[in-house]
Each structure stands twice: as structure tokens, then as C-alpha cells.
A and B are shown apart, each in its own frame.
Chain A
Amino acid sequence: MVHREGSRDIDGKKIFKKKVLPHILLIFFSIIFITPFLWLLSTSLKSMDEVFKVPPTFIPNEIKWDNYVKVFTRIPYIEYVKNTLIITVANVIGQLISSSLVAYSVSKINWWGKKYLFPIIVATMMIPYQVTMIPIYIVFQRLGMTGSYWPLILPAFGGGAFYIFLLRQFFMTIPDSLLEAATIDGAGEFRIFFSILLPLVRPVLATVAIFTFLANWSDFMGPLLYINTKEKYTLSLGLQAFVSEHVVEWNLLMAASAIFTIPIVIIFFFAQKQFIEGITVTGMKG
């Protein structure tokens, strides 16, 4: 009997360590990670008086939906969304086409350049953006393209090293025998690529699309360099410009930040799997 009492005590400790403690820690961290979001939403719904109240309130006394209306009237939000979408969608298309073509070339076509090209592509990832930034800017300036979206779109059609790498990793897992069967049937490389390979790797293409979308949706430096008229601003530039005009109106700034972020959060919830898988593959196989 004494022995059983003792073991029950150990069981209790074990249950606490295995079941309860992890949740306590996870909830603690979750609160830390989620509080900034709540603070963003809370501030975005406050009146100016309440924004500067000490001590602060988390749930606004008076919920001012009006702030969001004000943001929509002061920022040409729809215009900025349209501009950002033009750049983003063009990049997604360019990246999907070019990166998958190139990845196919360095994984499944047995040509003489296959083994030389891939290491070079990977090596280019090591070159800091700053090295090529100035000459590329000058080229676009000479071509009279600064101030347009071309400098932000054209590079995507050369394919991105990172995406080529990601796609190649997946193409390599597809057995050659599958493609060879088609060759015997007389299908050319393009047919094999489009009708056999691409349908097999649709989830990875989705990952490339999402990553490209995310990178361009949030990009700040590119538009900062090339876009100089207000009508052509992207959301990033528009928000930054809004800051310089409304520097203490935190409720409006937070409302603007919220409507800038929401589209991405929605995409995330629809495509969680592609997000997670894409990050995992690119982050682990160095």
C-alpha cells in the first residue's frame, strides 16, 4: 500500500511535467507573441484621447470604427492595393514560368551544362543585393524605366536562385523512369515538362507562388528605389508616406497597418500547408 501511494505521487508529478507544464509554457509564449497584434487592433479602434491615456486600456471604451473609414479616405488604399497587385502578380507569373523551366533544365535534362549551372545558380545567392543594386539602377535609368514598374518586374522573369533551388529539390524526387516512358512515346522535352512534370509538382509551384507573393507584397526597398510618384506607390511606400504625415495619430497608423496586414493573414490561413512545407524544405537542405 505504501508503495502504491508513492508511485501515485510520482505519476502526479509526471503528468504535471508531461501534460500541464508544456501548456503553461506554450500559453505564456503565446501571450507574448499575440499581445502586439491585440495592441495593434486595440489602438486602431481608439479615439485620440484614449490612445494617450495612462494607464492604457486594452478594450477601447468607445470603439471607433470610424478610424478605418478615415484611413480609407486619406489613403488611396484601393489604388495602392492595385499597384501592389500588379507588381506582385507579374512577379509570381515570371517566377513560376522561369524558375520551373530552369529547375527542369538542371535536374532532368542530361545536357552538358547541367552539372556546371546548378552550383553557379546556388553561388549567386551569396552575393549581397547591394553589390548589384547600383549598376542595375543605372541600367534602368538609362533605359528610362525608373519611375515605372518594369525594374520591379523584369528580374523575376530570369528566375530566382532560391526558387530554382527549391523546385530542383522536388524535381529530383521524381523518378526518371516516369519521364523516360514518355520519351519513348515520342514526347519532346516541352511536352514532358508541361503535361507530366508540372502536374506532379503542383504543391511546390503553389509554395513558390506564395513566397513570391509574400516577398513582393511586403517589399519596401525595391519600390523605394524605383517608384517616385504618389500615384504609383505600393502599400509599403504608401504606409511609410502616411507615417510622415500623421506621425502622432497612432490610431490611424495602426488601422492602416492592420488593413495592410490582413490580406496576408487571410492567404496564410488558406494555404498553411504550402507555407510550412516550403519553409521547411528551403531552410533545411543547405
Chain B
Amino acid sequence: MAKRNNFQKKQTRTNLAGFLFASPWIIGFIIFGLYPIVMSMYYSLCKFNVFQPPQWIGLQNYKELFTDELFYKSLANTLYMTVVGTPLNLIVGLMTALLLNMKVKGKSIYRTIFYLPSIVPVVASSLLWLWILNPQYGLLNQMLGFLSLPQPNWLSDPAMTKPSLIIMGLWGTGGIMIIFLAALQDVPRSLYEAAEIDGASTWRKFINITLPSISPVIFFQLIMGLINNFQYFTQAYIIAGAGEGLNAVSGGPRNSLLFYALYLFQNAFGYFKMGKASAMAWILFVIVALVTWLVNKTSDKWVTYGGE
């Protein structure tokens, strides 16, 4: 009996310790997670301008959004960034990783060069690219001119603004590269050796061994990339708003850079339409969840986990 009691006492103490260690997160989650989630849902059903208390209007905000041209515009811009930008980021990240994975001297120097751009603060890198992409004096157009190639008005032509941001993003793929490089180094050498005995070409080895082996990492990076691009904000805010003052939220030339998160921010802190902005946030959540689910569903067709 005494022994049992002792055991129970010990378990209670363990439970208490576990709870105490976890309490920072639990408290933080209630204040910065749970409560805001509930309130955000409530605000999305209200007319709310911060200065007056929220006023219940049911689904009005959602209805308003579905007839709002800019809402669709921002959604389309964001989808462009997600659908075109994400795969390109992965491809360039993988390509540089593959190059680094070859046995060459000075690998760590190359790795540093490829990685460094990704840690440049976003405001600084956006400014740098604003200058590189300057249509008249920017480096890129000067070089294109030197090669007698067409010189687009990168950041002022609505058709070129998003490609500009994608190019800028490709410069910062170093983080993805490091991850792919680690994944490539984990592929068992024996697989390649066996294929070499069978006389497989480099390309065949890449398709049949490398890609399947690193597919879980590609999958994870794809999901993270999609989620990040759905929330694309800072670069667009800085580049579209350059020269318009610190707190001006601009959508760029013909709103071609009005991304979803930017339009949401504009509604919330530009027009103080907190209800509408909250409704946008929930629509974003649903879209992100849906896309993640869809990608996840396709994953058993192309993602192979070790040992299969």
C-alpha cells in the first residue's frame, strides 16, 4: 500500500513538473494563439474599426470580399507567386546543391557564396534589387543592353513586376540549397555503385536514385515554400512602396504587386477595416490548409520514404 502511494505521489510530482516546464508555451499559446484565433473569427463577422466596439454583421465581410475586385486581384497575384515562384526556388536550390555535391575542391567557399544572399536583411536586399532592376541605370538592364537583348521596365511594367520579385527571390535560395545538400549527402553511396555496375547514365541515376531518395525533403520544402509565398509581404511592401513614404501601402504598377497579405494589411491598418481584414485572414487559412492537404494527397504518388 505504502509503495503504491509512493508511486502515485511520484507520478503527481512528475505531472506537475511537466506542466511547469511546458507552462511558458501554454500561457503564451492562450494569449498569443487561442484567444486571438477566437477573436479573429469573431471580428471577421463584425464591422470593426478599432475606435468603436465591434458590431455584429454576420457574413457581410465575406460577401463584400467576394464582390471585391481587388480581393481577386490580390489572390491572383499571390497564386502567381506561389505557382511560379515556389517551384523555381526549389529547382534553383536543388541545382546549386547538386553542383556542390560533386566532389570538388573549395566546396565550402562556393557554399558560402551561394548561401550568403539568403541572410541579407529583407529591407536591404529589396533595396539592392530595386537598384539592380532600375530600368535606366540598373546593372541588369545595362548588361542586357551590352548583349543587345531587350531591356524590360522590370519594376514599372505590370507584366514584369512579379517576375522581378521572383528573380530577386532566386538570389536568396541559399537556405533551401543547404537543406538539399544535406539530403543529397544522406543518399547511400551503395545505391549509386550498384547502378554504375549496371551502366546507368548520370541522368538515369538522378531520376531513379537521387530524386526518389530526397523526395521527402522536396515534399517538406514544397509545403513550406507554398505557405511562405501565400504570406508574401515585406519585399512587395518595400518595392511597391518605395518613394511613397513609410506608411503608404502601395500595390505597385496597376496593383500588380498587391499581394494577399499586403491587401489584408492595407485593409487592417490603412483603412481600419479590421472585420474585413480578419475575414481575409480566415479565407487565407482555408486556402493554405486546402493546398497543403492537396499536395499532401498527391505525395504518396511521388514521395518515397526510406526502406520502401
**Residue A184 is within 8 A (CB to CB) of chain B in the complex:** no
CA–CA, A284 and B96, complex, Å: 17
Instruction: Please determine whether B124 and A261 come into contact, CB atoms closer than 8 angstroms.
Output: yes
A270 proximity list for chain B (CB < 8 A)? none
**Residue A15 is within 8 A (CB to CB) of chain B in the complex:** no
**Residue A101 is within 8 A (CB to CB) of chain B in the complex:** yes
Instruction: Please determine whether B50 and A253 come into contact, CB atoms closer than 8 angstroms.
Output: no
Instruction: Please determine whether B285 and A127 come into contact, CB atoms closer than 8 angstroms.
Output: yes
CA–CA, A138 and B33, complex, Å: 14
**Residue B58 is within 8 A (CB to CB) of chain A in the complex:** no
CA–CA, A243 and B130, complex, Å: 11
**Residue B137 is within 8 A (CB to CB) of chain A in the complex:** yes
Instruction: Please determine whether A113 and B19 come into contact, CB atoms closer than 8 angstroms.
Output: yes
CA–CA, A240 and B241, complex, Å: 10
Report the minimum CB–CB distance from A42 to chain B (whole Å).
9
**Residue A2 is within 8 A (CB to CB) of chain B in the complex:** no
Instruction: Please determine whether A127 and B268 come into contact, CB atoms closer than 8 angstroms.
Output: no
Report the minimum CB–CB distance from A69 to chain B (whole Å).
19
Contacting residues of chain A (103-134) with chain B, CB-CB under 8 angstroms: 104-106, 109-114, 117, 120-121, 124, 126-134
Can you show 30 pairs from A to B with CB atoms below 8 A apart?
A19-B104, A26-B110, A30-B110, A30-B113, A34-B113, A36-B171, A39-B128, A102-B21, A102-B25, A106-B22, A111-B14, A111-B19, A117-B26, A128-B230, A129-B231, A132-B40, A135-B39, A135-B43, A138-B39, A139-B35, A189-B14, A220-B238, A221-B234, A243-B127, A250-B131, A250-B137, A257-B128, A276-B178, A283-B178, A283-B221
Report the minimum CB–CB distance from B35 to chain A (whole Å).
7
Q: Chain B: interface residue count, which band?
A: 35 or more
Q: Is the interface of B mostly helix, strand, loop or mixed?
A: helix
3 closest residue pairs by CB, A with B: A158-B28, A111-B18, A283-B179
Given known contacts A130-B261, A134-B40, A272-B112, A113 and B18 CB-to-CB distance under 8 angstroms: yes
What does the 1/0 interface line of A177-190 toward B look like (CB < 8 Å)? 00000000000110
What does the 1/0 interface line of A262-286 toward B look like (CB < 8 Å)? 0011001000100110011001101
Q: Is the interface of A mostly helix, strand, loop or mixed?
A: helix
CA–CA, A87 and B298, complex, Å: 42
Instruction: Please determine whether A240 and B238 come into contact, CB atoms closer than 8 angstroms.
Output: yes
**Residue B154 is within 8 A (CB to CB) of chain A in the complex:** no
Q: Chain A: interface residue count, which band?
A: 35 or more
Instruction: Please determine whether B178 and A164 come into contact, CB atoms closer than 8 angstroms.
Output: no
What does the 1/0 interface line of B273-292 toward A look like (CB < 8 Å)? 01001101110110011001
B33 proximity list for chain A (CB < 8 A)? 124, 127, 132
Given known contacts A26-B99, A109-B14, A286-B216, A51 and B178 CB-to-CB distance under 8 angstroms: no
Given known contacts A106-B22, A128-B281, A243-B243, A264 and B120 CB-to-CB distance under 8 angstroms: yes
Given known contacts A55-B146, A280-B178, A214 and B22 CB-to-CB distance under 8 angstroms: no
Closest to A220 in B: B234
Which of A60-68, A199-207, A231-239 interfaces with chain B?
A: A231-239
Closest to A284 in B: B217
Given known contacts A247-B242, A257-B127, A284-B182, A264 and B121 CB-to-CB distance under 8 angstroms: yes
CA–CA, A188 and B142, complex, Å: 67
Instruction: Please determine whether B175 and A283 come into contact, CB atoms closer than 8 angstroms.
Output: yes
A110 proximity list for chain B (CB < 8 A)? 14, 18
B300 proximity list for chain A (CB < 8 A)? none
Closest to B224 in A: A283
